Amino acid sequence: MAGYKPKVISLTKRPGQTFGFFLRVENGEEGHLVRNLEMGGPAELAGMKNGDRILQVNRIFVDGLPHSEVVELVRTSGASVTFHTLDEASYKRAKANGVQLCKINTITTPAATNGVSKQALKPKLCYLIKSSTGYGFSVRSISGEKGTYMIEVFSGSVAERAGVKVNDRLVEVNGENVENATHDQVVEAIQRGGNTVMFLLVDEKTDKSYQKKRAKIGSWLATTKHLPLAPRIIEMSRGSDGYGFLLREDPKKSGHFIRDIDRGSPAYRAGLEDKDRLVAVDGKEVDGGTHEQVVDMVRKSGQNCCLLVVDDKTDQMYKKGKVSPMLFWEENKDSYSPPSYIEAVTLNVPRPTTPVQKSDEELKPKLCRMEKTAAGFGFHLNGIQGLCGQHIREVVKGGAADKAGMENDDMVVEVNGVNVEKSSHEEVVEMIRRSGSSLEMLVAKRSVYEKLKAKDVPITRLLLEEPTYAQVRKTRSSKRETRPDTPPEPERRRASSTSSSSSQDSFDIRF
């Protein structure tokens, strides 16, 4: 049928890689939509566009199939899959005209398979991991002439897969400019990299364009689309208990790190991973900021937060080239637009929908009475020496604390009738030690503790006698109370310790 020309796109992914797009169904939109294309990913390089509709998967017509079935067809295809797609405008026109999409003839010439249809005039970063046969390229320098060039790139080699082309000029090796280096110096710089190397290269056309403009070429101008690993953009909406992760400043490493992600939390569902390094909050770089400043940036995001993070391998790759992952953000921020969706699926990992929120819990603390056994009381007290605020961790199943109703993450309010909210870690530890074989602790579930504190309600044993918070509030009606729309999340200070004193040179913040 004239006027409707679907594209045939064949994609192949490497182990650990995705096809580089989201497949979605959306309110008010018909069809299975292509969204959130990964710059430099297989789908983007093969010619997929945002808003394209998937008509066929491996020659099976899917336009009328449930979304879950289409996703399953893609997943079971393995490392290679063939799509028939139609651009958004043509799809909507065909639907409006009552065209039977299953009868549209496909074009005979497929789009490029994981290839670049149009090369931007930018230098490129290429990251090579040496194989048993080496990198698979040769370089040439001409005496008396400026520059080192790629004169041979072997088919199927590491260099070819990394985006290196014949006649590319070498600008940097592992972040060091080599434009005025001798041939021997370039070779030595490559060898110093060990089994990996990051090149900044420029092809002939791009090189001439920059020379004409008399512009200096540097990594800050480069495209990251050829790099095998990419930072991740994490979009989250705050839940009733926050985002569900800790932000930690590690004294042994530079940067701000994600730790202890709560299963099922907004952070977990968005794809945040333990030990990710935080690069930016809402597009603002955090390197160089103090822990408190970064925490404040997340808090000021309000109900929705966008993080740029890197895992350790991606971080090391960028550090090899002495470039910031912000380069990826600057290149991709304009094309990144997180849409609202009914269901979103990354084509190798299911993305669960947000669970229905539970009804408000009873705002009461817990009084836990326990007798020491041969194994002790059966819990760890976490905190940091010299700082206030203690919480419970590693409650032993079947132990004294567990039987008394104590749970992981409970906040400690009283020990043997004495309020310890402003006591240091070592003071609380000593009080527990002095209690002998019997211990009585008033604790509160963290969510309960935070809600009561936000309402300015003292946490005492009196709350155990009241059936609801509403009755407690009546006794305080003379005091005006204001609750901000987005109250700051409380600081969570943690140390991995038993009920003996322990210290740690970092602290965590829970979001």
- Tens digit of pLDDT for each residue in 419-447? 888 888 888 888 898 888 899 999 999 88
| pLDDT given for residue 488 in this prediction | 44
- Does 335 map to a domain? no
Q: How far apart are CA 218 and CA 124, in angstroms?
A: 10
> Do residue 238 and residue 214 come from a single domain?
no
> Do residue 448 and residue 475 come from a single domain?
yes
Range of the domain at 12: 7-103
Q: How far apart are CA 300 and CA 181, in angstroms?
A: 48
> Do residue 21 and residue 81 come from a single domain?
yes
> Do residue 169 and residue 242 come from a single domain?
no
Tell me the three state secondary structure of residue 208: helix
- Does 227 map to a domain? no
Q: How far apart are CA 371 and CA 374, in angstroms?
A: 10
- Does 450 map to a domain? yes
> Do residue 319 and residue 252 come from a single domain?
yes
| pLDDT given for residue 479 in this prediction | 28
Helix (H) or strand (E) holding 373: none
- Does 348 map to a domain? no
CB contact burial 285-300 (16+ within 10 A = b; e otherwise): ebeebebeebbebbbe
> Do residue 396 and residue 476 come from a single domain?
yes
Count other Cβ atoms within 10 Å, centred on residue 131: 12
- Does 350 map to a domain? no
- Does 226 map to a domain? no
> Do residue 165 and residue 76 come from a single domain?
no
> Do residue 217 and residue 236 come from a single domain?
no
| pLDDT given for residue 504 in this prediction | 35
Tell me the three state secondary structure of residue 278: strand
List residues bridging with 257 in a β-sheet: 248, 277
Count other Cβ atoms within 10 Å, centred on residue 88: 17
Which residues of the chain register pLDDT less than 70? 1-3, 103-120, 143-145, 334-361, 384-388, 465-511
> Do residue 276 and residue 305 come from a single domain?
yes
The dihedral of CA 241, 242, 245, 246: what is its sign? negative
| pLDDT given for residue 388 in this prediction | 63
- Tens digit of pLDDT for each residue in 88-101? 988 998 888 887 78
Q: For strand 508-510 and strand 246-249, is the pairing parallel, antiparallel, or unpaired? A: antiparallel
Residue 305 makes CB contacts below 8 A (sequence gap 6+) with: 235, 236, 238, 243, 281, 282, 298, 511
Name the amino acid, one letter, at 450: E
> Do residue 383 and residue 453 come from a single domain?
yes
> Do residue 239 and residue 216 come from a single domain?
no
The tally of domains found in the chain comes to 4
What's the token pair of residue 279? 């690069």
CATH code of the domain containing 236: 2.30.42.10
**Rounded to an integer, what is the distance from CA 161 to the centroid of its chain?**
26
What's the token pair of residue 351? 């993305």
- Does 355 map to a domain? no
- Does 354 map to a domain? no
Q: What is the DSSP letter of 254?
A: S
Count other Cβ atoms within 10 Å, centred on residue 186: 17
| pLDDT given for residue 446 in this prediction | 87
> Do residue 140 and residue 99 come from a single domain?
no
Q: What is the DSSP letter of 462?
A: G
